[in-house]
């Protein structure tokens, strides 16, 4: 899981020079960059294989809200069986931006988003099995903080009280993700635990969450109506 990253390039993943990692069965979400590649940035002769991953809700101040590939050598990035959705870019390529001379490979994946720029800019190779639509993730409930956030440096967690008559049970939100201020924050953070009136978030969000602000819970599991179900290829169902 790569969430809540803040960087110049590649908020969740930055693959440089000749790196060729296989990145599989990962969530890359809720990261933010000043320039390019909100979720993932691949540079020079890097050739990451990204398989069975969800790349969602990342944002870039430049190009490539979800992914930016800038390959000019002999290798480029490869994506298969991925969900690339709801990323945002101030520049071009809300979901995928290619800035290099080599096209990234895109196969058997859902690519969908919005904004004034097309989802994919700069070209790509392959293209078989690419489809549009809403992945239909589970969740998205909101509520309001009733107190300022309190950061415990010794444990590396932030504790915040909420109200709004929520019906969340104790422990129900553990492992899900949260946008602590929907009005001004785009990054996501992992929830460590919750009671019926308090949420404990991994990391420090004390400067982002205040009483009266609205937060949103995110769950990136697919709902039963998702168009991603029974799509893609079984060849990459288990990657070692």
d(CA 91, CA 156): 34
**140 torsion bin: left (phi>0), alpha (psi -120 to 50), beta (else):** left
Under a CB-based contact definition with an 8 Å cutoff, are residues 49 and 20 in contact? yes
- pLDDT at site 217: 95
Question: Would you place residue 127 in the very low, low, confident or very high pLDDT band (cuts 50, 70, 90)?
Answer: confident
More confident residue, 235 or 94: 94
Residue 88 C-alpha from the chain's centroid = 10
| Residue range 207-240, pLDDT digits in tens | 899 999 999 999 999 999 999 998 888 876 665 5
- pLDDT at site 63: 96
Residue 61's nearest CA partner among 16, 97, 104 is: 97
Could you tell me how many residues make up the chain?
Answer: 240
d(CA 56, CA 67): 10
d(CA 150, CA 208): 11
Under a CB-based contact definition with an 8 Å cutoff, are residues 10 and 40 in contact? yes
Under a CB-based contact definition with an 8 Å cutoff, are residues 104 and 42 in contact? yes
d(CA 139, CA 44): 38
| Residue range 17-54, pLDDT digits in tens | 888 999 999 999 999 999 999 999 999 889 999 999 99
Please give the DSSP secondary-structure letter assigned to residue 223: P
Residue 187 has pLDDT above 60, yes or no: yes
Strand positions, DSSP E, 64-149: 67-71, 78-80, 83-85, 88-89, 96-98, 105-107, 110-112, 120-121, 125-126, 142-144
- pLDDT at site 155: 96
**Radius of gyration for the chain, computed over Cα atoms and rounded to the nearest angstrom:** 18
Average pLDDT over residues 109-124: 83
Under a CB-based contact definition with an 8 Å cutoff, are residues 20 and 75 in contact? yes
């Amino acid at each position: 899981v790569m969430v809540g990253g803040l960087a110049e390039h590649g908020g969740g993943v930055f693959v440089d020079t000749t790196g060729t990692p296989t990145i599989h069965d990962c969530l890359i979400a809720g990261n933010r960059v000043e320039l390019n590649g909100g979720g993932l940035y691949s540079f020079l002769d890097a050739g990451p294989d990204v398989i069975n991953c969800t790349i969602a809700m990342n944002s870039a101040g430049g190009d490539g809200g979800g992914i930016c590939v800038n390959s000019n050598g002999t290798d480029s990035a490869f994506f298969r069986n991925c969900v690339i959705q709801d990323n945002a870019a101030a520049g071009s390529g809300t979901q995928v931006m290619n800035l290099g001379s080599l096209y990234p490979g895109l196969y058997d994946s859902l690519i969908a988003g919005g904004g004034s720029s097309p989802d994919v800019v700069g070209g790509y190779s392959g293209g078989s099995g690419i489809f549009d639509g809403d992945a239909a993730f589970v969740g998205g409930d909101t509520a309001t903080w009733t107190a300022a956030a309190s950061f415990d440096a010794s444990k590396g967690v932030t504790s915040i009280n909420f109200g709004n008559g929520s019906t969340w049970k104790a422990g129900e939100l553990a492992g899900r993700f949260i946008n602590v201020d929907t009005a001004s924050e785009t990054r996501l953070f992992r929830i460590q635990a919750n009671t019926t009136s308090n949420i404990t978030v991994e990391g420090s969000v004390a400067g982002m969450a205040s009483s009266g602000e609205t937060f949103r819970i995110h769950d990136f599991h697919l709902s039963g109506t998702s168009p991603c179900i029974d799509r893609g290829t079984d060849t990459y169902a288990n990657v070692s």
